[in-house]
């Protein structure tokens, strides 16, 4: 997971009185007075990037800002950092890595951006683990979310909303195509982009019924929203996306009861990952998911469905892109009983934190405490597991965690990391 998400996890739009008090995403630089023109320009670029989803406009904004003379170091570092991730979304990870290296070299003591840039380099570099560079996978997920929204908008004959979604779809398909070599798959995406252009023209010409007919006859609802093959059997993200899809379809129908039913297991997951565990990327992810769904549900219960749909599209954008390279990968997940799986994800957040500290040459905190927390959670969980194969597998987890703990205590961090990396998300 990119550390960009930590900056974004607090960012939900405040849409009206009586709703959860969730602040708009703000730049780190903008928290310092007095406000300078450069900070305002940075805010504008971030707004395009994180709220509007206008990646091209955001890139132009960051680049224009970086041409300004005498930029404060903090503004420059933040603009470079966000520019790097925007470029990665456009299929240019090599240039993104080059910019992140510049952040680390030019601003080594400027936190949090030096630290976040270091993490980004590990994720985006050609030597990064394959599963951390599946941007095509993540953009496919994004396209699926947008297709569910567009299907609903076309069903309601909502021309304005449909055109707005089509613009976002066009950008995502452009990102998808840019990462593919010339061939039949790329040609297929380009062909579907042409069909979407035709739908756009029909809507502009005031022909929503014909646009809906073309959308259905081309098979786009089924093709664009497909999830088959996107997730490995051990990836808990498949469970989350399945329930997000059910929630989105219920919202498109205006069915508040179905929205609540679809969100309920996701709220349980977010609660499970709550205050009792160490701060981690997985906890940030779960907290953002729970808070975002709560806001959308609140709007739906108030009958404010257009706002609810707009909010969900923004939420999907953050989940698909800001948490883009993230996987809730759990070893042997497919072989564990379904009710046990959220507990295993929660338990492994401690391992995630321990590994992050083991990877850091100068960690601010030692890796032992989060590992000990995971061991305690496993000891609590084991007596409740009645499935014999699952108990046996968790017994192996306990043995490995204990061996890693002994290695840390013996001053052998590399050995501990080797043991624990099997359990990394």
Q: CATH number, domain at 124? A: 1.25.40.10
Q: Is 201 found in the same domain as 215?
A: yes
pLDDT at 206: 94
Q: Please identify, among 184, 205, 226, the residue that sits at the C-terminal boundary of a domain.
A: 226
Residues 349-370, mean pLDDT to the nearest whole number: 84
Output the pTM of the full model.
Answer: 0.63
CA angle 43, 48, 51 (to 5 degrees): 95
In this structure, what token pair is assigned to residue 403? 């061996």
Q: Is 214 found in the same domain as 243?
A: no
pLDDT at 198: 94
Q: What are the residues whose beta carbons fall under 8 Å from the beta carbon of 303, sequence distance 6 or more? A: none
Q: Is 339 found in the same domain as 299?
A: no
Distance CA 19, CA 27 (A): 23
> How many angstroms separate the Cα of 262 from the Cα of each of 244, 274, 289, 322, 415?
7, 20, 13, 23, 43
Q: In the structure, what pLDDT confidence band is assigned to residue 327 with cuts at 50, 70 and 90?
A: low
pLDDT at 196: 92
Using an 8 Å Cβ cutoff, are 308 and 263 in contact?
no
Q: In the structure, what pLDDT confidence band is assigned to residue 148 with cuts at 50, 70 and 90?
A: very high
Q: Is 54 found in the same domain as 154?
A: no
In this structure, what token pair is assigned to residue 238? 């498949």
Res. 10: pLDDT tops 50: no
Within 10 angstroms of residue 106's Cβ, the number of other Cβ atoms is 13
Q: Is 364 found in the same domain as 303?
A: no
Distance CA 356, CA 417 (A): 10
Residue with tokens 């001053």: 411
pLDDT higher at 28 or 174: 174
Q: Is 351 found in the same domain as 395?
A: yes
Using an 8 Å Cβ cutoff, are 287 and 270 in contact?
yes
Distance CA 54, CA 72 (A): 25
Q: Is 124 found in the same domain as 12?
A: yes
Q: Please identify, among 128, 146, 164, the residue that sits at the C-terminal boundary of a domain.
A: 128
Q: Is 340 found in the same domain as 310?
A: no
- Tell me: the pLDDT tens digits for 36-82? 577 888 888 888 777 676 778 889 899 988 888 888 888 888 889 88
Distance CA 70, CA 338 (A): 56
SS3 of 59, please? helix
Q: Is 400 exposed, middle or buried (0-12, 13-18, 19+ CB in 10 A)?
A: middle
Q: Is 196 found in the same domain as 170?
A: yes
Q: Please identify, among 281, 304, 329, the residue that sits at the C-terminal boundary of a domain.
A: 329
Distance CA 153, CA 230 (A): 25
Residues 176-189, mean pLDDT to the nearest whole number: 70
Domains identified in the chain, total number:
4
Across 149-158, 261-270, 311-320, the highest mean pLDDT is recorded for: 149-158
Q: What is the CATH number of the domain that holds 261?
A: 1.20.120
CA angle 307, 310, 312 (to 5 degrees): 110
Q: Which domain holds residue 249?
A: 231-329
Res. 324: pLDDT tops 70: no
Q: Is 278 exposed, middle or buried (0-12, 13-18, 19+ CB in 10 A)?
A: middle
Q: In the structure, what pLDDT confidence band is assigned to residue 225 with cuts at 50, 70 and 90?
A: confident
pLDDT at 147: 94
Q: In the structure, what pLDDT confidence band is assigned to residue 234 with cuts at 50, 70 and 90?
A: confident
pLDDT at 125: 56
Q: In the structure, what pLDDT confidence band is assigned to residue 326 with cuts at 50, 70 and 90?
A: low
Q: Is 372 found in the same domain as 324?
A: no
> How many angstroms separate the Cα of 96 from the Cα of each of 4, 14, 410?
13, 31, 39
Q: In the structure, what pLDDT confidence band is assigned to residue 268 with cuts at 50, 70 and 90?
A: confident
pLDDT at 407: 93
Residues 391-409, mean pLDDT to the nearest whole number: 92
Q: Is 9 found in the same domain as 116?
A: yes
Q: In the structure, what pLDDT confidence band is assigned to residue 275 with cuts at 50, 70 and 90?
A: low
Average pLDDT, the chain: 78
Q: Is 20 found in the same domain as 112?
A: yes
Q: What are the residues whose beta carbons fall under 8 Å from the beta carbon of 182, sequence distance 6 or more? A: none
Using an 8 Å Cβ cutoff, are 155 and 212 in contact?
yes
């Amino acid at each position: 997971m990119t550390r960009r998400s930590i900056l974004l996890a607090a960012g939900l739009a405040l849409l009206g009185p009586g709703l959860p008090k969730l602040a708009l995403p703000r730049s780190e630089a903008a928290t310092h007075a007095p406000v300078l023109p450069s900070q305002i320009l940075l805010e504008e670029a971030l707004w395009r990037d994180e709220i509007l989803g206008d990646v091209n406009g955001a890139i132009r904004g960051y680049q224009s800002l970086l041409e300004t003379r005498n930029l404060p170091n903090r503004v420059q570092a933040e603009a470079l950092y966000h520019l790097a991730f925007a470029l990665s979304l456009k299929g240019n990870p090599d240039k993104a890595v080059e910019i992140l290296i510049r952040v680390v070299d030019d601003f080594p003591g400027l936190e949090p951006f030096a630290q976040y840039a270091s993490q980004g380099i590990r994720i985006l570099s050609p030597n990064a683990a394959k599963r951390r560079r599946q941007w095509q996978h993540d953009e496919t997920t994004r396209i699926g979310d947008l297709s569910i929204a567009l299907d609903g908008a076309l069903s309601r004959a909502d021309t304005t909303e449909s055109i707005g979604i089509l613009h976002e779809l066009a950008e995502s398909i452009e990102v998808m195509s840019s990462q593919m070599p010339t061939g039949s798959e790329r040609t297929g995406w380009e062909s579907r982009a042409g069909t979407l252009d035709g739908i756009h023209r029909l809507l502009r010409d005031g022909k929503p019924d014909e646009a809906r007919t073309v959308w259905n006859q081309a098979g786009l609802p089924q093709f664009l929203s497909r999830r088959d093959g996107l997730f490995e059997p051990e990836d808990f993200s498949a469970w989350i996306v399945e329930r997000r899809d059910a929630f989105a379809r219920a919202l498109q129908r205006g069915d508040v009861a179905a929205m609540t039913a679809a969100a309920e297991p996701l709220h349980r997951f977010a609660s499970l990952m709550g205050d009792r565990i160490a701060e981690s990327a997985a906890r940030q992810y779960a907290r953002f998911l729970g808070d975002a769904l709560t806001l959308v549900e609140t709007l739906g219960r108030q009958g404010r469905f257009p706002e609810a749909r707009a909010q969900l599209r923004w939420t999907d954008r953050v989940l698909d892109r800001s948490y883009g390279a993230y996987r809730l990968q759990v070893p042997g997940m497919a072989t564990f009983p379904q009710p046990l799986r959220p507990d295993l994800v929660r338990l492994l957040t401690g391992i995630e934190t321990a590994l992050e500290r083991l990877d850091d040459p100068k960690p601010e905190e030692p890796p032992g405490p989060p590992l000990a927390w995971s061991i305690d959670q496993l000891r609590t969980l084991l007596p409740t597991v009645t499935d014999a194969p699952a108990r046996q597998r968790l017994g192996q987890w306990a043995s490995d965690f204990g061996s890693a703990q002994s290695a840390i205590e013996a001053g052998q961090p590399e050995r501990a990391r080797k043991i624990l990396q099997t359990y990394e998300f």
